[in-house]
A = this chain, B = another copy of it.
């Protein structure tokens, strides 16, 4: 069971998104938590706190978005609560799922020497947030690229199939990359009682990221959040088999670093390479 609240002015701004996408996203966040455990979704319940002047059409659109995400992932909305609020919109989603006994992925199951593996592409959601904020880079991205990045921010895909595939392949340690790889690799390392190194040149990013944002690309890729990819720690001798058995229709796997003895997170240019300065961690919250 997992719970995730999204709060207007903190987690989203009404003018950047639509009620439909907000509904989709609020459930996607909880589904991402289930994915990070390798769980199969079973049900969800949703509380909506909305000010009295919220239009019925907006509430209906929000509900449609929720229902669409729920239907896509077999996670029926079985109940919830609606309340007035003299303040911002709050959407709180609880999702429950099941995982085979002893197959649950855990944040704390990583060990020194494990390789760090991520699904998909990093930095798109953070880049999308920059574009939504009107804080573009050195040059404008193409409309296609801008659409993908904003979509990654506003309508993320929970990596449920990938989480199940990790669990099915015997991976023990995973989490989702909700706060950026720097923060989430640190969480994995801390939980495993060790440290982590990340390899810049191995990061899976869009080439457009450095075209548009120059040297900021590293910060967007590992210091930004909300990509909702998965980060697993996998024993080195198990990585090849994991890759070989990885279904072609899932988000691809990339080895981006490894767990090491010394605590904390370090960034190197590549495996065995030179240590680099850490980029700033972008706040994922608009309010802070």
- Interface residues in chain A, defined as those with a beta carbon under 8 Å from any beta carbon in chain B: 1-7, 9-11, 43, 45-47, 49, 78-81, 83-88, 90, 92, 94, 96, 285, 287-288
A226 to chain B, nearest CB (A): 14
Chain B residues with CB under 8 Å of A87's CB are 9, 85-88
Instruction: Classify the secondary structure of A's interface with B.
Output: strand
CA of A212 to CA of B96 in the docked complex: distance in angstroms?
A: 48
Taking a contact as CB atoms under 8 Å apart, the answer to whether B81 and A92 are in contact is yes
Taking a contact as CB atoms under 8 Å apart, the answer to whether B9 and A94 are in contact is no
Taking a contact as CB atoms under 8 Å apart, the answer to whether A86 and B47 are in contact is no
A3 is contacted by which of B6, B7, B94 (Cβ under 8 Å)? Answer: B94
Taking a contact as CB atoms under 8 Å apart, the answer to whether A96 and B10 are in contact is no
Chain B residues with CB under 8 Å of A94's CB are 1, 3, 45, 94
Taking a contact as CB atoms under 8 Å apart, the answer to whether A45 and B85 are in contact is no
Taking a contact as CB atoms under 8 Å apart, the answer to whether A83 and B5 are in contact is yes
Q: Which residue in chain B gives the minimum CB-CB distance to A84? A: B10
Taking a contact as CB atoms under 8 Å apart, the answer to whether A10 and B86 are in contact is yes
Q: How many copies does the complex hold?
A: 2
Chain B residues with CB under 8 Å of A9's CB are 85-87
Taking a contact as CB atoms under 8 Å apart, the answer to whether B92 and A5 are in contact is yes
- A47-B92, A84-B288 known; 5 new pairs, CB 8 Å cut-off, are A1-B96, A5-B49, A49-B90, A85-B87, A96-B96
The CB with the most chain B CB atoms within 10 A, among A47, A90, A92, is that of A92
Chain B residues with CB under 8 Å of A45's CB are 1-3, 94
Q: Which residue in chain B gives the minimum CB-CB distance to A46? A: B3
A73 to chain B, nearest CB (A): 18
Chain B residues with CB under 8 Å of A7's CB are 49, 83-85
Q: Can you spell out 9 A-B residue pairs with CB atoms less than 8 angstroms apart?
A: A3-B79, A3-B80, A6-B83, A9-B87, A10-B84, A47-B92, A85-B87, A85-B90, A90-B90
CA of A86 to CA of B286 in the docked complex: distance in angstroms?
A: 11
Taking a contact as CB atoms under 8 Å apart, the answer to whether B79 and A2 are in contact is yes
Chain B residues with CB under 8 Å of A6's CB are 83
CA of A80 to CA of B1 in the docked complex: distance in angstroms?
A: 9
A98 to chain B, nearest CB (A): 13
Taking a contact as CB atoms under 8 Å apart, the answer to whether B1 and A43 are in contact is yes
A197 to chain B, nearest CB (A): 30
Q: Which 4 A-B pairs have the closest CB atoms?
A: A87-B87, A92-B92, A94-B94, A5-B47
Chain B residues with CB under 8 Å of A80's CB are 3
Chain B residues with CB under 8 Å of A92's CB are 5, 47, 81, 90, 92
